[in-house]
Amino acid sequence: MTAAIQAEHLAKTFRDFWQRPRVRAVQDVTFEVPAGQVFGLLGPNGSGKSTIIKMILGLLFPTAGRLTVLGASPRATRVKERIGYLPEESYLYPHLTPQETLAFYARLFRLPGAVARERIGQLLDMIGLTHARHRPVGEFSKGMARRIGLAQALLNDPDLIILDEPTAGLDPQGTRQVKDLILALAARGKTVLLTSHLLADVEDVCGQVAILFNGRILAQGTLDSLLARQDQTTLTFPTPAPATLAQVLAAARETLGAVPELAHPRQALEPFFLDVVRRAAGTDSAAAAPTGATPAAPLAPFLRG
């Protein structure tokens, strides 16, 4: 499988005024991000995630090691044109509207006017902010501003999308929409590099992860290989009658020499919350006109290939 990002023995040392080593932010890091997959780069604050992202973006140069992005040096202009980036904090001009903000970024990407207008309309619809396209961004909540940041990261139809805490500031509905969007992008062959402190979100979307600590990778692989408990097996079946259950437990005790742990499977909180809200919204005939983000539309047509 082709790799969108390849890092081999990557290192980054920051030096002081006299060129003495001050901080070894990244130390002997090797990992590979397969093309068309969602890869999670995880670790506590100060573990080296931001430094690695800046090297992938060509904003920092490695002290040692080798790094290729989309088959070339991350400093190459042709590589930068194929990357979309959502930083941890979306730096938006508060006096501009969403439409003006995205038009500004479209000019930076040198998109033709007609193409830019079409993509901006599709993206605003996709992130649920078409109704607020003429409101100043400075009036937006953090979650709404985050959606604008996500739209600008997709404006150039990138092959590699780097998302730093993409669900920060979003409510559960917005979080679910962003996770669905990430999965849809990967299904279209886009590569997504994701960093997040919300590990439940990572589990929902990432196929592989690497865990950093003090600039080194401590664990990496597929979630199945890292999280599976090979010493235990779970069986799930409809709750039987008490007599049948007693027979099953007796057979397990006789065969295994131990009584299995019994529990009813518990639904995750996120889908339960979303179902409650969805049903309530469907019966609330007095709902006011939207002031925040509305439900998002499917993936923007220009991103579908």
Domain ranges of the chain: 3-226+291-303, 236-262
d(CA 172, CA 47): 27
Counting other chains too, the contacts that 271-275 makes at CB distance below 8 Å and 24 or more residues apart are 273/172, 274/172, 274/173, 274/176
Residue 19: the pLDDT is 77
Site of tokens 């130390």: 27
Region 40-67: mean pLDDT is 94
Report the half-sphere exposure of 97 (CA within 13 A, side-chain side): 11
Note the residue count of the chain: 305
Is the CB of residue 182 less than 8 Å from the CB of residue 33? no
pTM of the full predicted structure?
A: 0.86
Per-residue pLDDT tens for 287-297? 555 556 666 66
Query: Would the CA dihedral through 100, 137, 132, 272 be positive or negative?
Result: positive
- CB 44 within 8 Å of CB 59: no
Helix, strand or coil, per DSSP, at residue 124? helix
Over residues 32-44, the pLDDT tens digits come to: 999 999 999 999 9
In sequence order, the 6+-apart residues with CB closer than 8 A to the CB of 130 are 121, 124, 294
Q: What pLDDT, in 10s, does the model give residues 192-202?
A: 999 999 888 99
Residues 301, 159, 133, 273, CA torsion sign: positive
Closest CA to 86 of 164, 201, 140, 157: 164
- 115: number of Cβ within 10 Å: 13
Identify the CATH assignment for 3-226+291-303 out of 3.40.50.300, 3.40.50.12780, 3.30.460.10, 1.10.10.10: 3.40.50.300
Residue 130 · residue 293 · CB < 8 Å: no
pLDDT at 262 over 80: no
- Distance from C-alpha of 20 to C-alpha of 13, rounded to nearest angstrom: 10
pLDDT in tens, 91-145: 899 999 999 999 999 999 999 999 999 999 999 999 999 999 999 999 998 889 9
Rounded distance, CA 118 to CA 100, Å? Answer: 14
Does pLDDT of 208 surpass 70? yes
Position of tokens 């979307």?
205
**What is the C-alpha separation between 12 and 24, in angstroms, rounded?**
6
